[in-house]
């Protein structure tokens, strides 16, 4: 008997991938927990966040990404709380980060050895664990040599406190320098249908050098969820109040692209734009799509991406839709944190 697409989606699990050079195998759809921290997302709801993490694990997502700076410790604490159930920590791969410090609500890059050695213990405590699976330098710090940062990461790796070393928002040249001192297993960079800068050099470099790639902002801060409307507004310190994609006249262009992609997803694949966007990333060759969510009902990408794929013609059509709808594209550069004064 033929199953409905909905039944197939409920029964399917997202595919998984090995992180080269480590013992880790992770789901190719991961859950991002930045918004759960509240900071830059207009506030947090702790119990909904915990329920979201557990819903993601139930749906076969095994990789949870967080960072100390997300809510200044709040996101890591929520992850620790969500996993404090017998058996859950052992089957979850935790990725967190290091190298941003905060003072009076402002953040700065600090990837010095001293900062890294302090942050690791803070993160282990908040996450209620004695090891971190993937530890990533959040942003390159121009005031600290990459060799110093890499050496500190190598020390933690040798001590067994971390099981894989990652960097985030690094260029090819910065990764090259880093790898002269320490192994590099993971790169995390922005990547989605609207933000493709890493395709030029970074993705090919990682592929050639066996570095797993985590693409963050898979839903472009919710645009590609398909739930945004022209009159959608954001509250408090929500970063989408300053994100140039969410301002006129660009917002209408991006929404138009999403509408047309959603029509294509329904017509050709019996899916929605959120599934198409994540499937597209995976078929472009990124190892993992990092999707943010903070309510259990938002964890819907993982189920809809299994057991189908896009061919070259589909991807060319998708590209045409984006290129014609978005006349004035802009990247995610506005999110880069400043260096220390």
Chain residues binding ligand NAP by CB under 6 A are 32-35, 65, 138, 168-169, 188, 216-222, 225, 227, 274, 290-294, 298, 300
Cβ closer to ligand NAP: 260 or 275? 275
Q: Tell me which residue of 161, 167, 219 sits closest to 191, measured CA to CA.
A: 219
Q: Minimal distance in Å, beta carbon 44 to ligand NAP?
A: 10
Residue tagged 């005031």 (tokens): 143
Cβ closer to ligand NAP: 150 or 193? 193
Q: Rounded to a whole number, what is the largest CA-CA distance in the chain?
A: 66
Cβ closer to ligand NAP: 89 or 138? 138
Q: Minimal distance in Å, beta carbon 75 to ligand NAP?
A: 8
Q: Minimal distance in Å, beta carbon 2 to ligand NAP?
A: 27
Which region, left, alpha or beta, applies to residue 44 given φ > 0 means left and ψ of -120 to 50 means alpha? beta
Q: Is 205 a residue of the active site?
A: no
Q: Minimal distance in Å, beta carbon 215 to ligand NAP?
A: 8
Q: Minimal distance in Å, beta carbon 30 to ligand NAP?
A: 8
Which region, left, alpha or beta, applies to residue 42 given φ > 0 means left and ψ of -120 to 50 means alpha? left
Cβ closer to ligand NAP: 63 or 313? 63
Cβ closer to ligand NAP: 126 or 221? 221
Strand partners, 301: none
Q: Hey, what are 62's tokens? A: 């095994």
Mention every residue, 6+ apart, whose C-beta is less than 8 A from residue 28.
14, 15, 16, 17, 282, 287, 288, 289, 305
Q: What is the CA 301 to chain-centroid distance, rounded?
A: 13
| Distance (Å, whole) CA 31 – CA 66 | 9
Buried b / exposed e over 91-130, threshold 16 CB at 10 Å, is ebbbbbbbbbbeeeeebbbbbbeebbeebbeebbebbebe
Q: Minimal distance in Å, beta carbon 273 to ligand NAP?
A: 10
Strand partners, 162: 132
Cβ closer to ligand NAP: 101 or 300? 300
| Distance (Å, whole) CA 252 – CA 243 | 14
Output DSSP code: residue 2.
Answer: P
E runs forming strands in 217-338: 288-292
Q: Minimal distance in Å, beta carbon 218 to ligand NAP?
A: 5
| Distance (Å, whole) CA 182 – CA 125 | 25
Which one from 70, 135, 191, 216 is the annotated catalytic residue?
70
Q: Hey, what are 192's tokens? A: 């989605």
Q: Tell me which residue of 184, 321, 334 sits closest to 245, measured CA to CA.
A: 334
Cβ closer to ligand NAP: 164 or 218? 218
Catalytic residues, by residue number, are 70
């Amino acid at each position: 008997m033929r199953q409905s697409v909905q039944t197939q989606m409920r029964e399917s699990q997202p595919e998984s991938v090995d992180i080269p050079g480590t013992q880790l195998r992770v789901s190719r759809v991961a859950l991002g927990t930045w918004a759960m921290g509240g900071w830059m997302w207009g506030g947090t709801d702790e119990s909904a966040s915990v329920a979201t993490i557990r819903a993601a694990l139930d749906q076969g997502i095994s990789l949870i990404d967080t960072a100390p700076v997300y809510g200044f410790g709040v996101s890591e604490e929520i992850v620790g709380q969500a996993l404090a159930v017998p058996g859950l920590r052992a089957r979850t791969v935790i990725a967190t980060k290091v190298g941003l410090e905060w003072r009076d609500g402002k953040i700065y890059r600090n990837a010095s050895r001293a900062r890294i050695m302090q942050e690791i213990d803070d993160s282990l405590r908040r996450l209620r664990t004695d090891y971190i699976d993937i530890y990533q330098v959040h942003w390159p710090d121009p005031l600290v040599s990459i060799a110093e940062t890499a050496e500190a990461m190598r020390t933690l790796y040798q001590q067994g406190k971390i099981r894989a070393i990652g960097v985030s928002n690094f260029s090819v040249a910065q990764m090259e320098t880093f790898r002269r001192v320490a192994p590099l297993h993971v790169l995390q960079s922005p990547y989605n249908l609207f933000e493709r800068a890493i395709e030029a050099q970074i993705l090919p470099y990682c592929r050639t050098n066996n570095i797993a790639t985590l693409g963050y902002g898979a839903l472009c801060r919710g645009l590609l969820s398909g739930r945004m409307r022209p009159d959608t507004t954001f509250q408090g310190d929500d970063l989408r109040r300053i994100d140039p994609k969410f301002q006129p006249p660009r917002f209408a262009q991006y929404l138009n692209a999403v509408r047309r992609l959603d029509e294509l997803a329904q017509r050709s694949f019996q899916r929605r734009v959120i599934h198409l966007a994540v499937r597209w990333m995976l078929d472009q060759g990124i190892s993992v799509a990092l999707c943010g969510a903070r309510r259990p009902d938002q964890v819907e990408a993982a189920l809809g991406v299994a057991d189908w794929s896009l061919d070259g013609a589909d991807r060319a059509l998708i590209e045409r839709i984006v290129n014609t709808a978005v006349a004035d594209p802009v990247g995610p550069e506005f999110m880069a944190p400043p260096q220390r004064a």
